[in-house]
Amino acid sequence: MQDLPAISLKWFFEPRSVAVVGASSRKGKIGFEILRNIVEGGFAGPIYPVNPHEQTILGLKVYRSIGEVPGDVDTCIIVVPPHMVPAVLFQCGEKSVKGAVVISAGFSEIGNFELEKQVVDNASKSGVRVIGPNCAGIVNTEKRLYATIESRIEPGDIAFVTQSGALGGAALAWARQEHIGFSKFVSYGNRCDVDEADLLEYLMEDQQTKVIAAYIEGLRDGRRFVKTAKRVSVVKPILAIKSGCSSEGTRATLSHTGAMAGSDKVYDGAFRQAGIIRAEDIEDLFDMARVLHNQPLPTGNRVVVVTNSGGPGVMMVDSLAKLGLAIPATSADTKNKLAFLPEICSRNNPVDLTAEADPEHYRKVLEVTQESDDFDVLVALFVPPAFVKSEPISDVVVDVHRTASKPIVACWMSGDLVTEGVKILERGNVPNFPTPKRAAKAVSALVERGRYLAQMHASISQ
């Protein structure tokens, strides 16, 4: 809608004050839940509920209109019937509100294009930027701003941008269970104004965000998006789920947000060109995000697997190979450096320490393979017998990781037998995955990211 710099979005995520138009005193109503999220989330600035039929909500004075609010308002969250939204945006303009997040639905997603055009026209004339309509809100954990209908989330350095509010909420709930923290969250719905490219530009400059994850159903301006993503992905990793891959999914996308999904092959090529790493599902998306934000990037695709169990080791090799990763044989030089291992151990790749593996075996093998020219990525796999604790092995992996120049990915299997060991890995910033398949996908993302940056740097230097 407006060709404005990304800094104009700071008022959404870094407001000094927030108003909720359509605030309600009834629990379960969207206007109540969003206001409660903002209040209980600990937002430090003034919070202004607006509703002509209420006096106080959650201990806050309620104003009849946005114009009656005594102080300045940077961001306005709009939760009113759709036909009232254009008028509210006009009032926001008169109040010099910088940005409006329109939660209300009932626009282009149901074919009501004329009403959405009124929203765009009124916002444009009033100088108000708009996220939405038909969205679930925004979050900035650093500012403790939880202006959303979704549950509050832990701080972290992953930004999540989603076209679907409901999917965003489900993803946040899953991530909370997995102890994944976020810098920003934004559900942008019908994107009548602010779109994916605008958000990427803002997040590129956001110091709290290290990795950008996105759920996309369709693009309004594919050429601008690819151009922007290409610039951003040199600075920060971008991961994306693109839904609507099938003809049925394309049709469902159109009815959901009013967006055309487009050819999946076209998106696949465009994403690759822009350096966007594509994920299949939410689990993939955040597994990849976790590994990209705290690991050094590999210079190649050669992986060594260090395991205490042969069967899971073979499963890991299969999972890696299916993704096109190389599992090279151990060189004679590296085998000689592994001569300290007992005879029952295999010094091939995977390096099998057997069920009698002790922490020092893991330490020395990881150190040798870190220094070896044979490998670019290390995978430590551990399947403990019931009588062996996982914590000492985890301590060793974390210790090696502190000074490692190559990425180390862990796969601690056996459920509750490794719970405490996994906690140690998490505290030590070693990404752990409970299955070989998930670990392999994460390794693949690291390799893809490393390859893309190497290609970009090579093209710049030519």
Do residues 319 and 440 lie in contact, with contact meaning Cβ atoms separated by under 8 Å? yes
Positions of the chain with pLDDT lower than 50, given as ranges: 1-6, 246, 248-261
CA distance 189 to 172: 16
pLDDT at 293: 85
Q: Which residues contact 74 (CB under 8 A, 6 or more apart)?
A: 11, 15, 16, 17, 18, 97, 98, 99
pLDDT at 462: 61
pLDDT at 174: 86
363 by DSSP, 3-state: which?
Answer: helix
User: Tens digits of per-residue pLDDT, 75-97?
Assistant: 999 999 999 999 999 999 999 99
pLDDT at 408: 97
User: Tens digits of per-residue pLDDT, 409-452?
Assistant: 999 998 888 999 999 999 999 999 999 999 999 999 999 999 99
CA distance 161 to 185: 6
Q: What are the domain boundaries of the chain?
A: 6-291, 303-453
Against a cut of 0.85, is the pTM above it?
yes
**How far does Cα 250 stand from its chain's mean position?**
23
Q: Characterize 181-193 residue by residue with b for buried, 16 or more Cβ atoms within 10 angstroms of its Cβ, and e for exposed.
A: ebbbbbbbbbbbb
155 by DSSP, 3-state: which?
Answer: strand
pLDDT at 361: 95
CA distance 54 to 48: 12
Beta bridge partners of 129: 99
pLDDT at 249: 44
CA distance 241 to 225: 15
Distances in Å between the alpha carbon of 45 and those of 42, 199, 207, 348, 433?
A: 9, 23, 21, 60, 40
Amino acid at 338: L
61: number of Cβ within 10 Å: 12
CA distance 401 to 334: 20
What's the topology of domain 6-291?
A: Rossmann fold (3.40.50)
**How far does Cα 290 stand from its chain's mean position?**
9
pLDDT at 268: 86
Q: What CATH number matches the domain at 303-453, 3.40.50.300, 3.40.50.261, 2.40.50.100, 3.40.920.10?
A: 3.40.50.261
Instruction: Please give the order of strands across the beta sheet that includes 47-50.
Output: 47-50, 18-21, 75-78, 99-102, 129-131
pLDDT at 269: 87
Distances in Å between the alpha carbon of 372 and those of 139, 198, 368, 407, 408?
A: 44, 44, 6, 13, 14
- Whether 6-291 shares its CATH topology with 303-453 is answered yes
**How far does Cα 351 stand from its chain's mean position?**
33
CA distance 280 to 242: 8
Q: Which residue has the tokens 């009548």?
A: 192
